[in-house]
Amino acid sequence: MTLTADRPAASSPPRSAAAPPAGEPVPTRPSLGGRLRRAAWGLRRTAARVVGTVRSRLRPVTGVITTLGRTALGAAAVLLLFAFWGGWVEFAVAGVALLVAVLAALLFSIGRSKYRVEIDLRTRRVVVGEPASGRILVSSTASRPMLASRLELPIGADVGRLAVPALQPGEQHEELFVVPTQRRAVITVGPARSVRGDAFGLVRREVRWTDPQLLYVHPRTTSLSGAVAGFFRDLEGQPSDDLATDDLSFHALRGYVPGDDRRNIHWRTSARSGALMVRQFVQTRRSHIAVALSTDAAEYADADEFELAIEAGASVVVQAAKEGRELTLITGPVSLPSGPVRRTLDQLAGVGLDTDAPRSAAAETGVAAAARRVVEVAPDVSIVFLLCGSTPTPAQIRRAGALLPLGVRVVAVRAVPGIAPTVRRISGVTVVTVGSLDKLPPTLRKVRG
């Protein structure tokens, strides 16, 4: 028997103790560029935190520096840099002077006022030309005497400035002010604010004491009681084509059907015919007035025409409210919410001309857009007043009237200041031209005639 020695099996090289297990990614050492990017990113984050902290700490100071003050600081920095590079003493003196001026101005903003400020408007609604006034009451709530200060009260686009004297604890100071009301507008009064700063306007610190209040300057109106009251009543009781079982206008008799009101049975005819007969009525129309104002700037020669058109429309609105008529007010493509006449006049006080109306041939603008809006929001309207300026042509007015339903009475009022009043008909549309508000009532009487 021959014995053979076993051949040693081939062994794999020894695995390094640091080698990762099979199937796991082998970690690589980050490159120098990656370490630099990480360091730069960390520095940016640290710098952002430091800058944010500095800004938040300096905001009470930097927030009171005006644009002029920042410009002075920038000029000071530029002058000092020029002085450092070029050795110019003059630039250094100018830069230091600007820097000192800003720092000295900051001293004027130091301090805190303790006031209670009240604004009292005598009325919130006036008509153009009526006086509007109010008062501002400043009370000291501090426990120590307060130094003199100044208050600002914005009134529309203007700013009123009031000097508040030194006040003892609990002492009050009252000032009266007047609001100009020469033009129709919605005027914002306030908020009252105290101001601290220097005389040159480098530093300005404001403290707001009140909320703003609104003053409505309504358009002028004229009484139309004798002009359109009967005009409105002319349409009252006009029958329509809609049948009803109960109304004022009798139409005919018909056979009784279950569900009919027995109070409408005509007993005499029923006795003769041997069958129950009931009365049939037609619905009568109650006047629903729509005032449609064109706000397209192209339809007015100037602002005075627009104001006259608004005054004419406001007069119709007031008369319709006096008689309890259903009213829809439309300004251009916008319909204003219906409500009390005072609120409607508030809305009219803020209406302005539209200078961005589309000018393409296919787009409806001006009186046509207003008439289209009437059809959309008030399909049951019975009287429509279209208000415009002097530039719409007869063809444009005719086109606007054609957009309204048949049977609707249309009155187009053209506002042309200074012109003699006229009345004419254009394809079923009554066109009234007025030159002043006081001529509107007698001109509308001619429409009735």
Sorted by where each begins, the domain ranges of the chain are 60-107, 115-218, 240-285, 288-448
The answer to whether 213 touches 188, Cβ cutoff 8 Å, is yes
pTM for the full predicted model = 0.69
Give the model confidence (pLDDT) of 151-171 as tens digits: 889 998 888 888 888 888 888
Question: Tens digit of pLDDT for each residue in 69-99?
Answer: 888 888 888 888 888 887 788 888 888 898 8
Tens of pLDDT along 372-428? 888 888 888 888 899 999 998 888 889 988 888 888 888 999 999 999 989 898 888
The domain 115-218 having CATH identifier 2.40.30.10: the answer here is no
- With b for 16 or more beta-carbon neighbours within 10 A and e for fewer, the 376-410 pattern comes to eebeebbbbbbbbbbbbeeebbebbbebbeeebbb
pLDDT at residue 241 is higher than 50: no
Residues 6 or more apart from 376 whose CB is under 8 A from it?
none
As a whole number of angstroms, the distance between CA 413 and CA 258 comes to 51
CATH architecture of 288-448: 3-Layer(aba) Sandwich (3.40)
Residue 16 pLDDT class (50, 70, 90 cuts) = very low
Q: How far apart are CA 45 and CA 38, in angstroms?
A: 11
Alpha carbon distance 109, 202 (integer Å):
11
Mean pLDDT of 323-332: 83
- Between CA 18 and CA 94 the distance in angstroms is 69
Question: pLDDT value at position 160?
Answer: 86
Residue 278, pLDDT above cutoff 90: no
